[in-house]
Chains A and B, each alone.
Chain A
Amino acid sequence: MFEGWDAVVLARAQFAFTMSFHIVFPAFTIGLASYLAVLEALWLSTGREVFINLFNYWLKIFAVVFGMGVVSGIVMSYQFGTNWAAFSDKAGPVIGPLMAYEVLTAFFLEAGFLGVMLFGLKRVGPRLHFLATLMVAIGTLISAFWILSANSWMQTPTGYAVNADGQFVPADWLKVIFNPSFPYRLVHMVLAAYLTTALVVGAVGAFHLWRDSHLAGARVMFSMAMWMATLVAPIQILAGDQHGLNTLEHQPVKIMAMEGHFESHKDGAPLYLFGLPDEAAGKLKYAIGIPKLGSLILKHSLNAPMAGLDTVPRENWPPVPITFWSFRIMVGLGFLMLGLGLLSLFARWRGTLYEFKLLQLFAMAMGPAGFIAVLAGWITTETGRQPFTVYGLLRTAESTSPLAAPAVGSSLIAFVIVYFAVFTTGVFYILRLMASPPHQGEPGPSHDAPARAAGITPAAGVVT
């Protein structure tokens, strides 16, 4: 099996597959950990039982998601070596320390305090427990910092030199870490994680309000989620725009693929809304575009000239159709999120936030939108970096391990079977948890303990 296949293509498929599964979990846990910290802070400061009920409700879901994130993440940390040995040898001195710092500053922090966060409320009392929740939440953000720094360095490498063995070696660590695209990517990704979580929380809230609009827990979570969507969606669109301008400066070819600009435009490029990219012909077929708008958005001038893919040697083109379509899916969903936020604002103003059936339907439909947008955005930026692993410097085809196609193909099949078997079951369990509404005396992730958590009030402070 797999004789005659291209090992590079199989290795890329494997990385794309395992990464796509993995990224969904941290995108959710980054947002959910922060949300849990907010809920616990509200419980500690107000003493209202609804907050600890919601905390315990989402904590059970967090536990399942986090477990899946950990095991799919371990795969990623070994994937570099198993399938991308040449990349690891050449870029290891730069990328490796960034990932090592992620382990040291983030993974250990999360893992070290997770046990106390999940099972320790009665053992350590509310205050120390809140500290544990806070540490886990901070850990998820630190993790995003380092891994996005590493990823951004592959997109916009700076601060390096090349040694005699052909390895990239660090010349200036600050320039490596704070490479040009990193701040934009970090902001865009963390906001995406928050939005993703808000949409899931909003959808679950809407689902339970649909059946009982007086349910206290559902009301609180729905309102919080809709505030989040209202405030963060517009900020995210602005952040995305800035990220795009940064990409134009440092990776113009990626922008050409995203925009479907096969041809150069001397006086003002159109913004193509739709079209069918035809790579072989080097044309965007059936293009529907708004004249000059592309230049206006990207160069802030109607008649600014924009180079197209016709100025780039073909062997340096990224796969245009994937980049083009995934970008449109992400942007389209972003504007739908903005619409949801605005509709909820309207409902709030009318005083029907909890009864507005159309809004509930919309919010439920948008539940998975954050995940799809994150995946689409990730595909846009990673596919747009091709055909390089380190942009402009190291080709993907020169980055792989010296392995024959059957080895890479077999492990790909193994991962596909295992991931679908395990993670679809996990998603099913999560959906089943979400299907029951949060109620009074909601138990946490402890199983054989009676639900006493609700009996602990922050005022009591000391817990026996």
Chain B
Amino acid sequence: MAVVAQLVERWLVVPDVAGSSPVGRPNSRHGRDTGTSGSLSPVLDEDARASLDMPWLLIVWNDPINLMNYVVHVFRSYFGYSREEAERLMLLVHHEGHAVVASGPREEMERHAQAMHDYGLQATIAKDAP
């Protein structure tokens, strides 16, 4: 059985470079207009409104099994990201240990998480970035 080791680029160890760059975050964090904020505003203070507006985050974590090109492929084919964006997110996962790859309503993030688990990626949902 021929093994061409150089073809196989495992998703390798990465030195700890925490804090060297911010986690990427899709830009829908603020300003989602649900059309209902006006009716809520009289009873909610600023903090409560900010909390309601805050989307949920889908986070993909580094793992020792998945191949780099497979992760790029999943980000491209499932989320429809450009190759550049998919590679940027994959490298964030690779270098930082995780990346926020989507944000939005909780139900939507749960669907995405299920899809990521289907692809074999380690994905979690949270309110705040790790």
Co-assembled chains A and B: no
